[in-house]
Structure 1
Amino acid sequence: MGRGNPKVTGVLPIGLENATKVMSYTTNAGKEYVCVMQVHCDVDEKTLAEVVKKFEGEIYQRPPVRSSVKRRLRIRRVKAIDLMEVKGRLALLRIESEPGTYMRKICHDAGILLGCGAHMRELRRTRSGIFTEKGLVTLQEVSEALYLWRNCKDESELKRILLPMEFALCGMPKIIVDDMAVNAIAYGAQVMAPGVVAYQKFNKGDLVGVITLKGEGVAIGVAEVSSEELENMEKGEVTRLKRVLIPRDVYPKAWK
């Protein structure tokens, strides 16, 4: 296995049709990886653990040469990095970070601090937003389910592996709106206090999911007020919409 060709596996959430609208918000919730780093010299476990811990918190990172983004210096936050196991020159790391953090760059930079170099051998994404390896579906299973549907008119496997779009909203607080407010939001109206039926706790500026009484996804927005302020509101805007999810005219119009 060459240094420029690491094995990469793990969780990759994919949205279909209307669900593509929520994917960027879902994956921005953070990621977790298990990474195999190969060090280019012999080093004791204590020294290795001390070096990798230096990458916890806010770090400066320039994307590697082979990347899909512009190579400019940027700040990324590593929430946690742990040395789980060492075998010879191979080290197993668990890393929890915000999106856009390059694990192979962490391995490379750790090698610089060690003074002898290092590179990433393998990488597995164990979590992306709220999605984990629990219930993971392989591409082979997707292919077989699609074959059964197309050729045998059997959609049971597709129903088993596909999740409703609303699952992607599980990682953010919810605001439930009245049925009469849904279509107005579908046409671009903001969520107004009189149309709110219930809500979870949230702060001003938080990303919130707007749903119907039945639990259907309506929109994603940024809270203009906190849930404490909303408790005493009789009128005014509650959110600033970022993305409308529900089609127009699914619910009846409440205006003339």
Structure 2
Amino acid sequence: MFMHGGKEYVGLMELHGDVSDDKLLEAFKIFTGDVYQVPPVRASVARRPRIRRVYYFDLLERDGRYILFRIGCSGGTYVRKICHDMGLYLGVGAHMEELRRTRAGSLEEKNSVTLLQVYEAFEKYRETGDEEAVRKVVYPVEKCLELLPKVYILDTAVDAVCHGADLMVAGVSMIDSDVAENSEVAVMTLKNELVALGKAAMDAQSILEASEGMAVDVTRVIMHKSTYPPVWKGGLQRVQ
């Protein structure tokens, strides 16, 4: 989920020549939106042109040729390549000096904790049995999927999905309107608990209008079996 979700970075770029403020700001606008990228030579993917989206690209501070910036972009964007390409556009050359990720999906740097904080929270839990400190430093898995479209299912369909069955339209209770065919979705209970991840077999409207057929092709089950009663046809005997 994090590999393909949106990211935010704060970075430092060094220009190889002098550029006016107006020209620099113009370049930031040019490199906002859909951009074509060929991954750099030292990349883990094939070097073929691809389209990536830059949601925002802001100049934070400038000190001569050193440019501090914030960028929000789609997953798979090479920020160091954007710095290089911006240098070409400006006619002076440029390279990325530093880069720090400040957001991945719905998780932001400001909400991060240190390993020491996690250790101390678990030590307190072991000594007192109080879960409060642990809950402050460990997010539930649902927090990581806040930006993913969701399909909410009936209680009677939960255990079938937990045993590996794909989600059929009869088991759907509600669905986010932005669910598109073949899009990644989170399958949720009516209590907002994550059951599984999968790909939508149809768009949201088609799922709501269908009387039969598959709604979600389940790719990964998260919830343990028998968390909900096995009331689906055949129950556990069918699986066994």
TM-score by length of 1: 0.78
The amino acid of 2:137's aligned partner reads I
Distance (whole Å) between structure 2 residues aligned to residue 223 and residue 70 of structure 1: 27
The amino acid of 1:48's aligned partner reads L
Distance (whole Å) between structure 2 residues aligned to residue 163 and residue 93 of structure 1: 29
| Alignment equivalent of 1:50, drawn from 22, 26, 50 | 26
The alpha carbon displacement at 1:154 in A equals: 6.0
| Alignment equivalent of 2:169, drawn from 173, 193, 205 | 193
Distance (whole Å) between structure 1 residues aligned to residue 49 and residue 115 of structure 2: 34
Please state if 1:82 is matched with 2:82: no
The amino acid of 1:250's aligned partner reads T
Change (3 A) 1:115 1:185: same
The alpha carbon displacement at 1:229 in A equals: 2.0
Distance (whole Å) between structure 2 residues aligned to residue 71 and residue 206 of structure 1: 24
Higher relative contact order (Cα pairs below 8 Å, separated by 6+ residues): 1
* Residue in structure 2 matched with residue 73 of structure 1 by the alignment: 48
The alpha carbon displacement at 1:103 in A equals: 1.6
Distance (whole Å) between structure 1 residues aligned to residue 64 and residue 15 of structure 2: 9
The amino acid of 1:231's aligned partner reads L
* Residue in structure 1 matched with residue 205 of structure 2 by the alignment: 228
The amino acid of 1:112's aligned partner reads L
The alpha carbon displacement at 1:129 in A equals: 0.8
Contact 1:26 1:169 in 2 (8 A): no
Note the residue ranges of structure 2 that are not aligned, 5 or more in a row. Answer: 235-240
Q: Give matches, 1:96-245, under 5 Å.
A: 96-149=72-125, 155-201=131-177, 202-245=179-222
| Partner-residue secondary structure (3-state), 1:238 | strand
The alpha carbon displacement at 1:223 in A equals: 1.5
Distance (whole Å) between structure 2 residues aligned to residue 64 and residue 151 of structure 1: 52
Distance (whole Å) between structure 2 residues aligned to residue 103 and residue 197 of structure 1: 41
Distance (whole Å) between structure 2 residues aligned to residue 203 and residue 117 of structure 1: 41
Distance (whole Å) between structure 2 residues aligned to residue 239 and residue 223 of structure 1: 4
* Percent of aligned pairs with the same amino acid: 38
* Residue in structure 2 matched with residue 255 of structure 1 by the alignment: 233
Contact 1:173 1:207 in 2 (8 A): yes
The alpha carbon displacement at 1:71 in A equals: 5.8
Distance (whole Å) between structure 2 residues aligned to residue 238 and residue 29 of structure 1: 23
The alpha carbon displacement at 1:55 in A equals: 2.7
Note the residue ranges of structure 1 that are not aligned, 5 or more in a row. Answer: 1-24
Contact 2:3 2:76 in 1 (8 A): no
The alpha carbon displacement at 1:64 in A equals: 4.9
The alpha carbon displacement at 1:94 in A equals: 2.0
| Partner-residue secondary structure (3-state), 1:33 | strand
TM-score by length of 2: 0.83
Moved more, 119-128 or 132-141: 132-141
Query: How many residues of Structure 1 are paired with residues of Structure 2 in the alignment?
Result: 230
